[in-house]
Amino acid sequence: MKKFVQNMVYNVIIKPEAEIELFEFLNWYKSKGVDLPVKFYKAVHQQLMIIEKTPFLFQIKYKEFRVAYTNKFNYGIHFTIELNTIYIHAFLHSKRQPLV
Protein backbone atom coordinates (compact mmCIF):
# COMPACT_ATOMS: atom_id res chain seq x y z
CA MET A 1 0.00 0.00 0.00
CA LYS A 2 1.39 3.40 -0.99
CA LYS A 3 1.31 6.27 1.43
CA PHE A 4 0.59 9.68 -0.05
CA VAL A 5 1.95 12.82 1.57
CA GLN A 6 -0.59 15.58 1.79
CA ASN A 7 0.58 18.99 0.59
CA MET A 8 0.64 21.65 3.25
CA VAL A 9 -1.71 24.55 2.72
CA TYR A 10 -0.08 27.97 3.08
CA ASN A 11 -1.70 31.31 3.69
CA VAL A 12 -0.13 34.07 1.61
CA ILE A 13 -0.07 37.55 3.11
CA ILE A 14 1.20 40.48 1.09
CA LYS A 15 2.52 43.12 3.47
CA PRO A 16 1.10 46.64 2.91
CA GLU A 17 4.48 48.03 1.82
CA ALA A 18 4.83 45.30 -0.80
CA GLU A 19 1.30 45.90 -2.03
CA ILE A 20 2.08 49.60 -2.47
CA GLU A 21 5.22 48.69 -4.46
CA LEU A 22 3.22 46.36 -6.66
CA PHE A 23 0.65 49.05 -7.45
CA GLU A 24 3.42 51.57 -8.17
CA PHE A 25 4.99 49.16 -10.67
CA LEU A 26 1.62 48.48 -12.28
CA ASN A 27 1.02 52.22 -12.67
CA TRP A 28 4.50 52.72 -14.11
CA TYR A 29 3.91 49.96 -16.68
CA LYS A 30 0.51 51.48 -17.46
CA SER A 31 2.27 54.67 -18.52
CA LYS A 32 4.58 52.68 -20.83
CA GLY A 33 2.09 50.59 -22.76
CA VAL A 34 -1.48 49.37 -22.86
CA ASP A 35 -0.82 45.65 -22.33
CA LEU A 36 2.27 45.88 -20.09
CA PRO A 37 0.40 46.10 -16.75
CA VAL A 38 -1.61 43.00 -17.61
CA LYS A 39 1.50 41.05 -18.63
CA PHE A 40 3.32 42.19 -15.50
CA TYR A 41 0.39 41.28 -13.25
CA LYS A 42 0.11 37.84 -14.87
CA ALA A 43 3.84 37.22 -14.37
CA VAL A 44 3.61 38.18 -10.69
CA HIS A 45 0.42 36.20 -10.15
CA GLN A 46 1.90 33.10 -11.77
CA GLN A 47 4.96 33.29 -9.53
CA LEU A 48 2.81 33.85 -6.44
CA MET A 49 0.89 30.65 -7.25
CA ILE A 50 4.17 28.73 -7.48
CA ILE A 51 5.36 30.23 -4.18
CA GLU A 52 2.07 29.26 -2.52
CA LYS A 53 2.33 25.64 -3.66
CA THR A 54 6.08 25.10 -3.30
CA PRO A 55 7.70 27.82 -1.16
CA PHE A 56 10.73 25.70 -0.24
CA LEU A 57 11.63 25.44 -3.92
CA PHE A 58 13.31 28.83 -3.57
CA GLN A 59 16.67 29.27 -1.85
CA ILE A 60 17.26 31.45 1.15
CA LYS A 61 19.13 34.45 -0.25
CA TYR A 62 19.81 36.39 2.96
CA LYS A 63 18.75 35.93 6.56
CA GLU A 64 15.41 34.08 6.28
CA PHE A 65 14.35 35.75 3.01
CA ARG A 66 13.71 33.76 -0.12
CA VAL A 67 13.38 35.30 -3.58
CA ALA A 68 11.34 34.12 -6.56
CA TYR A 69 11.96 35.92 -9.84
CA THR A 70 9.26 36.64 -12.40
CA ASN A 71 9.63 35.52 -15.99
CA LYS A 72 10.21 38.25 -18.60
CA PHE A 73 10.18 41.01 -15.97
CA ASN A 74 13.24 41.41 -13.76
CA TYR A 75 11.40 41.47 -10.46
CA GLY A 76 12.05 39.42 -7.37
CA ILE A 77 9.32 38.52 -4.93
CA HIS A 78 10.95 38.59 -1.48
CA PHE A 79 9.21 36.39 1.07
CA THR A 80 9.56 34.51 4.32
CA ILE A 81 7.84 31.39 5.60
CA GLU A 82 6.55 31.23 9.16
CA LEU A 83 4.72 28.02 10.07
CA ASN A 84 1.90 27.80 7.52
CA THR A 85 2.06 31.45 6.40
CA ILE A 86 4.04 32.98 3.58
CA TYR A 87 4.71 36.68 4.01
CA ILE A 88 5.45 38.70 0.88
CA HIS A 89 7.71 41.53 2.02
CA ALA A 90 8.69 43.21 -1.23
CA PHE A 91 8.52 43.24 -4.99
CA LEU A 92 11.89 44.57 -6.13
CA HIS A 93 13.43 45.11 -9.53
CA SER A 94 16.64 43.07 -9.77
CA LYS A 95 18.67 46.31 -10.10
CA ARG A 96 17.46 47.60 -6.70
CA GLN A 97 19.10 46.75 -3.39
CA PRO A 98 17.45 43.82 -1.53
CA LEU A 99 16.06 44.07 1.98
CA VAL A 100 18.56 43.61 4.77
Give the pLDDT confidence of 27-51 residue by residue, as tens digits: 888 888 778 888 889 999 999 999 9
Spatial separation of the C-alpha atoms in residues 51 and 18, rounded to whole Å: 15
Does residue 41 form part of some domain?
yes
Report if residue 5 sits inside a domain. Answer: no
Domains: count for the chain = 1
Which residue, 27, 15, 10, is CA-closest to 77?
A: 15
Q: Is residue 25 part of a domain?
A: yes
The 3-state DSSP class for residue 42 equals: helix
More confidently predicted of 21 and 3: 21
Note down the domain range covering 84. 11-93
Considering the domain boundaries, does residue 32 fall inside one?
yes
- Residue 77 exposure: Cα atoms within 13 Å on the Cβ side: 29
Region 12-21 average pLDDT: 95
Question: Left if phi > 0, otherwise alpha if psi is -120 to 50, otherwise beta: which for 91?
Answer: beta
What per-residue confidence (pLDDT) applies to 97? 57
Residues linked to residue 12 through DSSP beta bridges, in sequence order: 86
Average pLDDT over residues 67-84: 92
Which pTM value belongs to this model? 0.82
* CATH for 54: 3.30.2310.20
- Judge whether 52 lies within some domain: yes
